[in-house]
Amino acid sequence: MDTVLLLITAGLCAVSSHAERQYHFVYDPKNWTEAQSYCREKYTDLATVDNMEDVTTLNNMIDTSTAAWIGLYDDVNSWRWSLSDTSFYKHGETEFRRWRAGEPSNINSAEHCTAMDEDGLWNDTHCSDSLKVVCSYVRGSDVTFILINKSMTWTEAQSHCRVNYTDLTSVRNMTENQKVQELIPAGERVWIGLFRDSWKWSDGSNSSFTHWRPGQPYNAGGSQLCVFAHFGSSGQWYDEPCAIRVAFICYRTREF
């Protein structure tokens, strides 16, 4: 049977919500990076929250005025190409970018795919947008770019390109950027193959559970990349600037 353990000492509270993980609340305010380092040094990592059972347990144990960092963060540096064949790229070519000024902006933490405008500059945008597509047909180091004059979402575009060609196009350098730009119809933008993962757990967990407060994640100004649970709002989650100093929740994998 699941047990709940409460231990308070030197500003620290520990609670076990299920057999594998024991949560530890640390009320010494730190920014998210400091909290992560502390948890990894003293315990296992910043807390991963898997389900509503965990949320309920935490709510029952924490003062309702408390906000505390958990291990969820927005990985804004995870951009990669749909075509992952490393033999296609020379050194540094996977890192070529031609973002428009102010991009990627990641408005509302929801812009995870990349479009090229008719001027050849890139924007991050919602993957559910419906845009025309540039696929690539790859043979060795040679590549041919093909405009698909039909609008679709990024995921649909990726599937279409993989079935009929090689993949959504990668853009390795300015020469290729110019070639793709020349295919874009006037006044349009097109999908290219650059995308990124979004919210990740500090410990690498693949848990897809979320408990956002309505209207969150908000990501005002593109700077709210870390997450705390606010126990005055039933433990619901807010994205906030990682530099804010608040309490935090660690976990330790229990030993039997």
Residue 230 falls inside a structural domain: yes
The CATH number of the domain where 65 resides is what?
A: 3.10.100.10
Residue 149 falls inside a structural domain: yes
CB atoms under 10 Å from CB of 164, counted, come to 11
* 189/204 same-domain check: no
* 143/220 same-domain check: no
Domain boundary among 180, 195, 210: 195
The total number of structural domains that make up the chain? 2
- CA dihedral (17, 20, 23, 24) in degrees, to 10, reads 140
Here the tokens at position 9 are 């000492």
**Residue 224: predicted pLDDT:** 83
* 90/189 same-domain check: yes
Q: What is the DSSP string of 150-168?
A: EEE-HHHHHHHHHHHSSEE
Residue 2 falls inside a structural domain: no
Residue 188 falls inside a structural domain: yes
Range of the domain at 63: 7-75+200-253
| Alpha helices, H only, the chain | 32-42, 52-61, 154-164, 174-181
**Residue 221: predicted pLDDT:** 56
Mean pLDDT per block of 10 residues along the chain (256 residues) reads 29 48 93 98 96 92 88 88 91 94 84 96 96 95 94 97 97 97 97 90 91 84 84 94 96 74
Name beta bridge partners: 126.
none
Residue 1 falls inside a structural domain: no
* 166/147 same-domain check: yes
- Is residue 183 a contact partner of residue 145, using CB atoms and an 8 Å limit? yes
**d(C-alpha 176, C-alpha 97), whole Å:** 12
* 96/190 same-domain check: yes
**d(C-alpha 114, C-alpha 79), whole Å:** 10
